[in-house]
């Protein structure tokens, strides 16, 4: 048996090649950007008026009480006026181009307008030179990178893409993943199980979890039979980049998965990790580069292994930077076995502090308990008491959404 760290290290020595694909901007949300987004012109592209009011030349308008003839109205979206006559101003709207010859905008709130004998504006305060003008290129210059490759495309990034005219974006194509459940006790979700059977649930859980990376995993089931297992796996090794399996890896008489995989030339890199849950996790690679993550069949075990190992590895493949999310244990935890304990915890944010509340279930078969928690906290091997107030890394399985 190897340790949690060793398992992580071995997995991270393997990688797969991900292609890119082009998607339309309205389908790009949540995808990972493959190429940086650059400013197609200066940001803003012109000296931009930021308040509704009048534009004038500061020189000669330094003081309150100065009076200007209004020579025109400059709307947003219109070509700019030119201010050439001393003592004139242009009414300007937010988003408009600053009129040529002007440099300062005084908002309506700080002027009075008279209509007779001609339309004039009188300043009620002394303006500051250049006020209420968002200068051309002050945010970004043409050609500058605004969104880096590897970014997850959220609402602001989609807005930037729209602004620079990228109606389509190059994003990372998610890997082709097969999820394979094993176990003769499993029946499909739409069938009524016999008393000694249960419905398959791990595949649905894992498929939903993979959806976060826009991976549309295909689901398969194989029965506990060496020949059938080998036949089906041989077929799947032709068409996918990653096989995620659940079940068939412990010491049972009908656990044919390791044997079948090795017969098919999948090299075992490890089998069994000093951890609870999820001890029987098997990991290997095929000479073709296909990776096989064969998780134990208990629902808590397979979901823990997914979150602790497959998720950080997938982030790495996608170019998403690794992060270490630590939380503070809210209660003491005792755990005697000489194993790393991945404890189910509920996370709360209290006065800016991430607290992890242990949610003890009835072991790795207790699927219902996963609903009450938010993640797994890694309590390292070599200690049997973990005190409230200590910090440990959490592998959350929910987005912390507020």
Q: Name which of residues 310 to 349 contact its own copies (CB under 8 A).
A: 323-328, 349
List, in sequence order, the alpha helices (H) in 181-281. Answer: 202-210, 226-239, 257-263
Give the x-and-dash track for 281-300 against its own copies (CB under 8 A). ----------------xxx-
Helix (H, G, I), strand (E, B) or coil at 269: strand
Which range binds its own copies by CB under 8 A, 61-69, 91-99, 115-123, 331-339? Answer: 91-99
For residue 115, state whether it binds its own copies (rule: CB under 8 A): no
Interaction with its own copies in 219-278: which residues (CB under 8 A)? Answer: 224, 247, 250-255
Residues 170-199 that bind its own copies (CB under 8 A): 183-186, 189-199
Question: Which residue lies nearer to its own copies by CB, 84 or 208?
Answer: 208
Residues contacting residue 102 through CB under 8 Å, at least 6 positions apart: 55, 56, 57, 83, 89, 90
Binds its own copies by CB under 8 A, chosen from 105, 206, 233, 333: 206
Residue 344, SS3 per DSSP: strand
Which of 65, 117, 287, 352 is in the footprint of its own copies by CB under 8 A? 352
CB closer to its own copies, 254 vs 264: 254
4-12 and 311-318 are packed helices; what angle lies between their axes, rounded to 10 degrees? Answer: 30
Closest CB to its own copies among 144 and 234?
A: 144
Among 145-153, 234-242, 262-270, 287-295, the segment contacting its own copies (CB under 8 A): 145-153
- Residue 322 and residue 318: Cα distance in Å, rounded? 11
Report yes or no: 379 and 335 within 8 Å, Cβ to Cβ.
yes
Question: Which tokens sit at 369?
Answer: 């308990």
38, 346, 367, 383: which one binds its own copies (CB under 8 A): 367
Sheet strands (E) in 308-371: 326-329, 333-334, 340-350, 353-358
The site map against its own copies for 9-48 (x = CB under 8 A) is ----------------xx--x---------x---xxxx-x
Looking at 113, 368, 387, 388, which residue binds its own copies (CB under 8 A)? 368
Site for its own copies in 148-167 (CB under 8 A): 151-167
User: What is the smallest separation between the CB atom of 398 and its own copies, expressed in angstroms?
Assistant: 5
- Listing DSSP states for 101-162 in one string gives T--EEEEGGGEEEE-SSS-EEEESSPPPTTTTEE-TTSSB-TT-EEE-TT-B--HHHHHHHH
48-49/53-56 β-pairing? unpaired
Residue 91 to residue 93: CA distance in whole angstroms: 7
């Amino acid at each position: 048996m190897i340790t949690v760290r060793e398992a992580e290290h071995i997995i991270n020595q393997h990688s797969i090649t991900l292609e890119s694909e082009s998607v339309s901007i309205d389908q790009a949300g949540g995808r990972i950007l493959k190429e940086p987004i650059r400013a197609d012109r200066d940001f803003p592209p012109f000296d931009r008026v930021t308040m509704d009011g009048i534009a004038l030349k500061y020189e000669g308008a330094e003081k309150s009480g100065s009076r200007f003839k209004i020579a025109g109205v400059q709307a947003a979206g219109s070509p700019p006026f030119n201010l050439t006559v001393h003592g004139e101003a242009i009414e300007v709207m937010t988003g408009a181009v600053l009129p040529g010859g002007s440099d300062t905008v005084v908002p309506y709130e700080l002027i009075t307008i008279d209509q007779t004998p001609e339309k004039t504006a009188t300043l009620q305060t002394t303006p500051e030179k250049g006020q209420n003008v968002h200068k051309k290129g002050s945010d970004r210059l043409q050609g500058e990178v605004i969104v880096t490759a590897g970014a997850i495309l959220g609402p602001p990034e989609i807005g930037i893409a729209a602004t620079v005219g990228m109606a389509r974006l190059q994003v990372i194509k998610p890997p082709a993943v097969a999820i394979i459940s094993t176990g003769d006790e499993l029946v499909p979700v739409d069938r009524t199980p016999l008393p000694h059977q249960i419905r398959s649930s791990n595949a649905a859980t894992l498929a939903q979890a993979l959806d976060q990376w826009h991976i549309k995993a295909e689901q398969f089931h194989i029965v506990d039979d060496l020949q059938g297992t080998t036949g089906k796996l041989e077929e799947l090794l032709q068409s996918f980049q990653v096989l995620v399996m659940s079940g068939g890896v412990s010491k049972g008489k009908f656990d044919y998965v390791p044997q079948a995989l090795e017969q098919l030339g999948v090299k075992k890199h490890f089998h069994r990790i000093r951890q609870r849950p999820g001890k029987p996790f098997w990991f290997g690679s095929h000479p073709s580069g296909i990776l096989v993550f064969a998780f134990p069949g208990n629902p808590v075990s397979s979901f823990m292994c997914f979150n602790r190992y497959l998720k950080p590895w997938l982030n790495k493949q996608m170019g998403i930077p690794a992060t270490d999310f630590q939380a503070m244990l809210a209660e003491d935890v005792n755990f005697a076995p000489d194993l790393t304990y991945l404890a189910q915890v509920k996370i709360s944010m209290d006065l800016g502090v991430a607290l992890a509340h242990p949610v003890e279930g009835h072991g790795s078969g207790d699927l219902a308990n996963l609903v009450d928690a938010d993640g797994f906290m890694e309590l390292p091997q070599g200690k049997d008491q973990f005190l409230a107030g200590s910090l440990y890394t959490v592998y959350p399985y929910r987005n912390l959404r507020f």
